[in-house]
Chains A and B, each alone.
Chain A
Amino acid sequence: MVRYPNVIASLIAVFGFCGLAAAARAAPVAGAPAELKIGVVAFLSGPASGPFGIPSRNAAQLWIDKINSEGGIGGVKVVPVFTDEAGPADKVVTEFRRLALDEKVSAVMGYISSANCLAVPPVADELKVLTVLSDCGTDRVFEEGKHPYVFRTHAHTVIDGVGAARYVLSVNPKVKTIAGINQDYAWGRDSWEVFQRSIRKLKPDVQVVDALWPKIFAGEYSTEISKLLVNKPDVVFTSFWGGDLVTFSGQAKARGLLEETTVVVNNTGADIKDLAPGMLIGSRGPHGIVSPDMEKNPLRKQFIDLYRQKHGLAANNYIAHGAYHYLQALQGLRTAYEKAIKAAGRWPTPEQVAAAFKRLEFDTPSGRIAMAIGDGHQAVEPAGYAVIKFDPGLGVNTFADIRMFSARCVNPPDGVKSLDWIDRGFPGAQCP
Chain B
Amino acid sequence: MRLLTVIALDGLAYASWLFLVSAGLTFTYGVLRVLNLAHGNLYALGAYLGATLVLRYAAGGSTVALGYGLLLLGAVVIGIVAGPLIERLFLRRVYDKDEEVQLLLTFSISLILEDVVKLTWGVSPIFADAPYTALGRVSLGGINYAWYPFLLTAIALAVGALLWLVVTRTRLGKVLQAVITDREVSLTLGINVPRVYTWAFTVGAVLAALGGAYTAPMFSLVPGVGAEVLVTSFAVIAIGGLGSIGGAALGALIVGMARSAAVYLFPELDLFAIYFMMALVLLFRPQGLFGEIEMRRI
Q: List residues of chain A with CB under 8 Å of any chain B CB.
A: 45-47, 49-51, 53-54, 184, 210-215, 217-220, 222-224, 226-227, 229-230, 242-247, 250-251, 253-257, 270-271, 274
A256 and B137: CB pair below 8 A?
Answer: yes
Total A-B pairs, Cβ < 8 A = 127
Q: Which B131-162 residues sit within 8 Å CB-CB of chain A? A: 132-133, 137, 143-146, 148-149
The 8 closest A-B pairs by CB, nearest first: A246-B220, A50-B123, A243-B222, A223-B10, A243-B220, A217-B228, A256-B144, A47-B224
Q: Is the Cβ of B137 less than 8 Å from the Cβ of A45?
A: no
Show 24 residue pairs from A and B whose CB-CB distance is below 8 angstroms, ordered by the A residue.
Answer: A45-B114, A47-B224, A49-B123, A50-B124, A184-B270, A184-B271, A210-B267, A213-B268, A217-B228, A218-B228, A223-B259, A223-B263, A224-B263, A226-B10, A227-B264, A229-B143, A243-B221, A247-B127, A250-B127, A250-B129, A250-B220, A253-B133, A274-B125, A274-B127
B86 on interface, CB distance cutoff 8 Å: no
B218 proximal to A (CB < 8 A)? yes
User: Contacts A222-B14, A227-B264, A254-B133 known; A47 to B222 CB distance under 8 Å?
Assistant: yes
Residues on B with C-beta less than 8 A from A49 are 118, 123, 223
Contact of B263 among A51, A227, A246 (CB under 8 A): A227
Contacts of B220 in A (CB 8 A): 242-247, 250, 270, 274
- CA A99 to CA B227, docked complex, whole Å: 29
Least CB distance from B235 to A in Å reads 12
Interface of B is mostly: helix
Instruction: List residues of chain B with CB within 8 A of the CB of A211.
Output: 267
> Complex Cα distance A274/B271, Å?
27
Q: Which of B11, B13, B125, B129 is close to A254, meaning CB atoms less than 8 Å apart? A: B129
Provide the bound-state CA to CA distance between A210 and B268, in Å: 11
State the Cβ distance, A179 to closest chain B Cβ, in Å.
10
In the complex, the answer to whether B228 meets A50 with C-beta atoms within 8 Å is: no
- Min C-beta distance of A271 to chain B, whole Å: 7
* Extra inter-chain contacts (7) besides given A50-B124, A256-B144, CB under 8 Å: A45-B223, A54-B123, A184-B270, A220-B14, A222-B10, A242-B220, A244-B220
How far apart sit A410 and B67, CA to CA, in the bound complex (Å)? 47
Contacts of A53 in B (CB 8 A): 123
**Cα–Cα distance between A218 and B223 once the two chains are bound (Å):** 14
Cβ-based interface call for B19 (8 A): no
Residue among B144, B145, B267 making CB contact with A213, cutoff 8 Å: B267
Counting chain B CB atoms within 10 Å of each CB, which of A222, A245, A253, A256 scores highest?
A: A222
- In the complex, what's the smallest C-beta–C-beta distance from B30 to chain A, in angstroms? 26
Q: Contact check: which of B10, B123, B229 meets A219 at CB < 8 Å?
A: B229
B236 within 8 A of A: no
Instruction: Please tell me if the beta carbons of B125 and A270 are within 8 angstroms of each other in the complex.
Output: yes
CA distance A244 to B129 in the complex (A): 14
